[in-house]
Amino acid sequence: MSKEIILHIEGLRTEFQTERGVVQAVNDVSFDLHQGETLGIVGESGCGKSVTNFSILKLVQYPPGRITDGQVLYNEKNLLECSDEEIRTIRGKHIAMIFQDPLTSLNPVIKVWVQIAEALRLHQGMSKKEAKAKAIELLKLIGIPDAEQRADNYPHQFSGGMRQRVMIAMALSCNPDVLIADEPTTALDVTIQAQILEIIKNLSHGRKTSVIMITHDLGVVAEMCDAVCVMYAGRIVERASVDELFYDPKHPYSIGLLNSIPRINQDSDERLHSISGAPPDLIDLPHGCPFRPRCTQAMDICAQKSPPEFSIGGNELRTVACWLHEKEHSHG
């Protein structure tokens, strides 16, 4: 399981300057994306999933946002230290993104094929004509009927699912090494969701693209991912393979998340639990463990010191940021 690391994120911190104070949206986040892997990032709304991934490509808008610390290594290069010029040659070509809401993420006044062709012309030096032909080919590939005619349409003439397909065509047009999909199905109907996930899965596997799949839906994780990071209040609280997370979750928050989804083999007298309480205010993070106010197992130490990430059984890919698991952590 020692696959090549394609993206190495370490100590990432991103904050927003607001009228109320500084929002610590991403707070010391580290993870690796391995070659060919699909890595899930799960967590409640507002826990910093999107901001983490915008930070990777320096897409956080300043002001109010600012990346204050950390590094993002891609091909041994720290993207956070790249010039604007350099990062533009990475964006869309080597690392591409699909966004949460396909309606607002496509430009309403530009034809669909033009929006797909832009990256092709820029990164692959295609002529307008070649790029249009390629855009139509991509539209066919992702299952848009009458692609030739539809290419000349504008985004509002497409349904939600179709728009997200267009986003996928756009993102995969230049065969990126890494695809970051930010809740690609959240805004869609359940039936369409499955189709979109299927397309992402097939295309990324076929092209050996590594995927970061952001979601708050554990079903998507089970369906798509090899490994998972669970985020809470701007931090990663647990890191595991999908099987480990589903069969042996360690962090009280992960356990809570898993208990809140229905399972087919669930005993009928077992109730569904949602985690009580609300996520903390990222401006005034409580001292110690950020999950403490909602944690049923909180101890004295939890109020005093924020738990570091303990690796379980010496496995670097299996970590938990919780004092309960300090003893399972073996140094070395």
Partner 1 sequence: MGRYVAKRLLSLIPVLFGVSLIIFFLVRMIPGTALEMYMGTQVEATPEQMEELTRLFGEDKPVFILYTEWLGDIVQGDFGCSLRTGRPVLPDIMARLPLSMELTFFSLFLALVIGVPLGIASSLHQNTFGDFLSRVTGLLGLSLPQFWLAALMVMAFSGFRGWIPMGNYVSLFEDPVRNLKMLFLPSLSIGIGFAAVVMRYTRNSMLEVLQQDYIRTAKAKGLKQRSVIYTHALKNAILPVITVTGFNVGYLLGGAIVVEEVFALPGMGRLSLYAIYQRDYPIIQAIVMIIATIFVVVNLITDIIYALADPRIRLDDTAR
CB of 209 to ligand SF4, least distance (A): 34
Question: Residue 157 contacts by C-beta under 8 Å, 6 or more apart in sequence?
Answer: 150
- Quick one: which of 33, 52, 34 has its CA closest to 42? 52
Type of residue found at 170: M
Q: Which does 118 bind (CB under 5 to 8 A by kind): Mg ion, partner 1, ligand ATP, none?
A: partner 1
Q: Within 13 Å of residue 244, how many CA atoms lie on the same side as its CB?
A: 18
Q: Kindly state the tokens that stand for 50.
A: 């999107």
Residue 18 touches ligand ATP, criterion: CB under 6 A = yes
**From 176, 291, 310, 312, residue interacting with ligand SF4 (rule: CB under 6 A):** 291
> In angstroms, rounded to a whole number, what is the distance separating the alpha carbons of residues 141 and 6?
27
Residue 104 touches partner 1, criterion: CB under 8 A = yes
Q: Which residue has the tokens 């109730």?
A: 271
Residue 61 touches partner 1, criterion: CB under 8 A = yes
Question: Residue 269 contacts by C-beta under 8 Å, 6 or more apart in sequence?
Answer: none
Number of residues that bind partner 1 (CB under 8 A): 30
| Stretch in the footprint of ligand ATP (CB under 6 A) among 27-35, 46-54, 202-210, 261-269 | 46-54
Residue 89 touches partner 1, criterion: CB under 8 A = yes
End-to-end CA distance of the chain, in Å? 19
51 or 131: CB nearest ligand ATP: 51
Question: Residue 188 contacts by C-beta under 8 Å, 6 or more apart in sequence?
Answer: 160, 161, 164, 196
Residue 72 touches partner 1, criterion: CB under 8 A = no
220 or 322: CB nearest ligand SF4: 322
203 or 289: CB nearest ligand SF4: 289
CB of 146 to partner 1, least distance (A): 18
- Quick one: which of 291, 330, 295, 296 has its CA closest to 314? 330
Binding string, residues 272-291; x marks residues near ligand ATP by CB under 6 A? ----------x---------
The residues of the shown chain that bind ligand SF4, judged by CB under 6 A, are 252, 289, 291-292, 295, 297-299, 302, 307, 322-324
